[in-house]
Amino acid sequence: MPVPNDSKPTVQRRLLRDEAHDAIRDAILDGTLKPGERLDDKELQQWLGISRTPIRDALQGLAMEGLVESAAQSYTRVVKPDPEHVESFIQTLGVVMGGVTRTTVGAFDDTDRAAFAAIVRRVESALTARDTHEHLRLGIEMYELLLGRCANAALASLARAAMTPMSYQIRITAGDREPNWAMLETGWGRLGRAVEDADPIAAELALEEMHLLPLPSNSWEPPHWGAR
């Protein structure tokens, strides 16, 4: 098969785009680039040491992921989350991760269940301390455990794509609202028991309730949700 003349430059541009994407994304997530901060092409070129084209490609990808926003001939900036919209992000993340939970928990082995129980114990300490940011960090650790064991590659890929921008939105606005600590304490307890009992449906419902999604009815709940 004849090799296209432009194959090598195309691969190089793709690699630079991916490197720029990851560097800018990480700077947004770790707080180096602040919400609402403008992203100047020349400054990014100087920082990353690459040309404008892969940087623009990277910014376009980050815009599609919900971490960057732009207006033609005006600005490109880090998204500044709106606290009024955060509930919709929490619910959406709950729907996606609820599906991951349902398809994964039943396949957990003893090591997986022990790792999950360890996260739940640390969450209990964070909830007792009313530590919002530690609770969010442990929530992401829990998501990563579930995703690492998810056998449905398509679902795991979708969930990972959704998790980063939505977790960012939730984390940045965390200081603007008081969590429902009692609901979270109950929900994590139910989730921990469901995972221990290898009950994926109960685990899914517990996780979704913590993400502000309604139960199927006001009166129904899995039998083992009660106190032991």
The DSSP code for 38 is B
Biggest distance spanned by C-alpha atoms of the chain: 69
Output the pLDDT for position 1: 40
The domain spanning residue 94 has which CATH number?
Answer: 1.20.120.530
Q: How many domains does the chain have?
A: 2
- What are the tokens at 59? 């910014």
Among residues 91, 94, 60, which one has the least CA distance to residue 76?
60
* Segment 11-66, tens digit of pLDDT: 454 588 999 999 999 999 988 999 999 999 999 999 999 999 999 999 999 999 99
pTM over 0.85: no
Other Cβ atoms within 10 Å of 44 Cβ, number: 22
In a domain, 150, yes or no: yes
In a domain, 2, yes or no: no
The domain spanning residue 27 has which CATH number?
Answer: 1.10.10.10
pLDDT at 202 over 90: yes
Cβ burial 127-142 (10 Å sphere, 16+ → b, else e): beeeebeebbbbbeeb
Question: Are 88 and 193 in the same domain?
Answer: yes
pLDDT at 177 over 90: no
Question: Are 118 and 200 in the same domain?
Answer: yes
- What are the tokens at 131? 């530590």
Annotate 92-103 with DSSP letters as a single string.
HHHHHHHHHHHH
Question: Are 142 and 213 in the same domain?
Answer: yes
Among residues 119, 171, 179, 172, which one has the least CA distance to residue 144?
119
* Segment 86-116, tens digit of pLDDT: 899 999 999 999 999 999 999 999 999 999 9
* Segment 56-83, tens digit of pLDDT: 999 999 999 999 998 877 889 999 998 8
State the residue range of the domain holding 180.
83-225
Question: Are 99 and 156 in the same domain?
Answer: yes
Strand-pairing partners, residue 75, are 71
How far apart are the C-alpha atoms of 222 and 63, rounded to whole Å?
Answer: 41
In a domain, 167, yes or no: yes
- What are the tokens at 79? 């998204």
Whole-Å CA distances, 146 to 71, 89, 95: 37, 19, 14
Question: Are 24 and 61 in the same domain?
Answer: yes
Output the pLDDT for position 104: 97
